[in-house]
A and B are shown apart, each in its own frame.
Chain A
Amino acid sequence: MNSIDDFLILLQDDLGLPVTGADVGAGLDRVPGWDSVHLLSLLALLERTTGRALPLAQALEAGSLEEIYTLAVAP
């Protein structure tokens, strides 16, 4: 996963969420089709895709998709 676009494709194709670039910075409660279960699925998916462990406690407290993305690609 090299860019926010890759992240969007992951959300669309792997979680089936109808999200666009505009939803990435919005609060999670504003993301279409989102519920808390998706957070667990997304985090598992990101770990599989990046091959790295995410700081799960922080990720669970993230307020937007963008924050989750930042955690996933942080060096």
Chain B
Amino acid sequence: MTGASRSERPVESGPSTLLDLHREGRLVREYPSVRRLLCGASDAELARAGQLLARLDPDEVLAEHPAVPVVSVAVTGHGTLAPLLPSLTVELARHGLLLRPHLADFDAYVFDLADPGGELYRADLALCVLDPMVVFDEVPVPWGPEDVERVARERIGTLAGLVARFAESARGTLVLNTLPLPRRFTAQLVDHRSRARLGAVWREANARLLRLAEEHERVVVLDLDPLAGEGVPVVEPRLSQYTRTHLSPALLAAYAREIGHLARHRAGQGKKALVLDLDGTLWGGILGEDGPDGIEIGADGTHRGGAHHAFQRVVGQLAAQGVLLAAVSKNDPEPVGEVLRGHPGMFLREDDFVRVVANWRPKHDNLAELAKDLNLGVDSFVFVDDSPYECGLVRHELPGVSVVPVNGEPALHIEALLRDGWFDTPELTREDVTRVAQYRDELVRKDFLDGFDSLNEYLRQLRVEVHLVEAGPAEVARLSQLTLRTNQFNQTTLRLGPAEVSALLDDPAARVLAVRAADRFGDSGVVGAVFTHRHGDTVHIDNFLLSCRVFSRGIEQTALCAVLRHARAHGARAVRANYRATPKNTKVKDFYPRNGFVRVADENTTLTHPTAACRSDGTTVTYEHGLGVLPVPPVHVHFTEIPGDDGS
């Protein structure tokens, strides 16, 4: 690493600390800078920041910053849970989100889960925090493993019934957790045979809890064992005894961190690409100085080489689940290519990356260009580098990028990368496992485009095919994922979980269309969705979205034309559509007017369907198409009509 010129050096700007903002009474006004101020904060600093942020009124923050994404979280459970709120507040703020909390009454989870009119049923995330005392409060003295088994079976049986009821009609995701088993209980049984049996019945109870996530689409069960396994104490005996806070503050903080990951996903801010430095990150040493034979990499080589290899295996594991890999390194491209293609110690190969950028330009420029080529926002990037200088510069120049600093101890790279569950998602879809290939195709398309003088000629040669299909159960997971991952071509940012999409399929007034696309380079699968509902003689487009991989090829106009044709063929008088402005979807704000829609003065009339996500906060515009003259679909697109859609 060479020294940077003065102009490249990160410059601190804006308020220096969160505490300064608090002391000056400016936390509300400066809320958007909180995310940056929390970068790299220690656990103790996060705890303190949580106390300060939890005192803010979310409505005041929102009034000042209407574009800040809000996640409503209702908290219920068995013990005292108020100490969880500051941790939740700060863990959401770390991701640029604003928490709107609701704390239920003490030990009210049975009532809350059974009350469809309550806050739990309305929240984006409903947390039902369970602790070991859910069982042990009911166990008599003296007791044996069979008493615990009986009580646990009863409690979890009740819970399973309540969860099923919740899953039928709540709008958000329910989060349960496994029950940790503190030593203060196992050690009360003096014989090891009983102790082992207690361990077995306890784990059977937890396994039953974990399986609830397989049985219901909108249920997540957090396993607390891995958190406790990191050395976080499960119980603080004094707080448990005196205040009925049955999980330790440290465990509640670790739990809140996991909730932050779920909230980030729910707010459509999941990460999509992992961008890695090479020297010191993927392998040890400096390629330019040590040469391909001198770098430290390989399971059978040095200790450090083995640690880098282990890190590469973890990166490969993430990539296999749909995370896009790219490398950005200050190196000459030739030796980098040589190592990626032929070094016997490497686990990752050139084909695992959608792009390898090796040059001497500033990394933030390379990242910005990479984002443009992949048609992604830089805020969907996670960037890993061992150089504090590069990490600082990227943070400063591209504040949206999530930066993961690693250090000179490669055995700790894995923990650093996985600490924040950047890519956590409730479930995977078919598209996830082929994503790297899809994006590589995309870059080939771009090179193909560069060979044409005119865009029209390019599009004609691309041979785009669009199929519009009525969505069925097979498309549910992918459509939900599109609503959660798509930020740019997303007209209303209406985020829907799989169960919410399923509910729309069953709603006779609603119509859900999946947009499939293919071209000469291959089948892109389901790349878009149109959610509509009919109210009287008007069809309302509740949301229209398209994967950022396939913009501007005529796919969106083709699908919109088909929706309009269908509406007219089925006797509709007009089609209405909303556009809700967010910081990310500006490029599609004229999509409807460009296609013959006109702005409607009275905007409240469209907010009739339960899925209408638009707020009357000035960010939403309603458009209408009178179905007189329909727009002409692009001639270069080969479109397959849904049978009967054209009125035939």
Contact = CB atoms under 8 A, between A and B. Distances in A.
Interface in A27-75: 33, 36-37, 40-41, 44, 48, 56-57, 60
A16 B83 contact: no
B193 interface: no
Interface in B69-83: 80, 82-83
Nearest to B236: A44
B464 to A, nearest CB: 56
A23 B245 CA distance: 28
Given A14-B51, A56-B238, A40 B19 contact: no
Contact of A14 (B48, B80, B238, B245): B48
A41 B80 CA distance: 13
B82 A40 contact: yes
A26 interface: no
Interface string B466-477: 000000000000
A35 B242 CA distance: 17
- Give the residue among A12, A37, A56, A60 with the most B Cβ atoms within 10 A: A37
Contact of A40 (B22, B52, B243): B243
Contacts of B54: 16
Interface string B63-107: 000000000000000001011011000000000000000000000
B51 A15 contact: yes
Given A14-B51, A33-B55, A56-B242, A41 B22 contact: no
Given A14-B51, A40-B83, A57 B19 contact: no
A40 B242 CA distance: 10
B238 A16 contact: no
B559 to A, nearest CB: 50
Contacts of A60: 242-243
Given A13-B48, A33-B55, A41-B51, 7 more contacts: A14-B52, A36-B82, A40-B83, A41-B83, A41-B86, A48-B44, A56-B239
B235 to A, nearest CB: 14
Interface string B212-252: 00000000000000000000000000110011010001000
Interface in B174-203: none
B249 A13 contact: no
A13 B85 CA distance: 18
A57 B239 CA distance: 9
Contacts of A56: 238-239, 242
Q: Taking chain A's interface residues, is the majority helix, strand, or loop, or is none over half, making it mixed?
A: helix
A13 B238 contact: no
Contacts of B80: 40
B55 A16 contact: yes
Q: Please list the 5 inter-chain residue pairs (A to B) with the smallest Cβ-Cβ separation, ordered nearest first.
A: A37-B82, A16-B52, A16-B55, A56-B238, A15-B51
A40 B245 contact: yes
A57 B243 CA distance: 9
Given A48-B44, A57-B242, A60-B243, A13 B86 contact: no
Nearest to A40: B83
A41 B89 CA distance: 15
B6 interface: no
B92 to A, nearest CB: 17
11 contacts: A13-B22, A15-B51, A16-B22, A33-B55, A37-B83, A40-B80, A41-B51, A44-B249, A48-B44, A57-B238, A60-B243
A21 to B, nearest CB: 17
Nearest to B103: A37
Contacts of A57: 238, 242
A37 B54 CA distance: 12
B520 interface: no
A48 B82 CA distance: 19
B23 interface: yes
Contacts of B44: 48
Nearest to B22: A16
Contacts of A13: 19, 22-23, 48
Nearest to A54: B238
A29 to B, nearest CB: 17
B54 to A, nearest CB: 8
A16 B55 CA distance: 7
A14 B249 CA distance: 16
Contacts of A48: 44
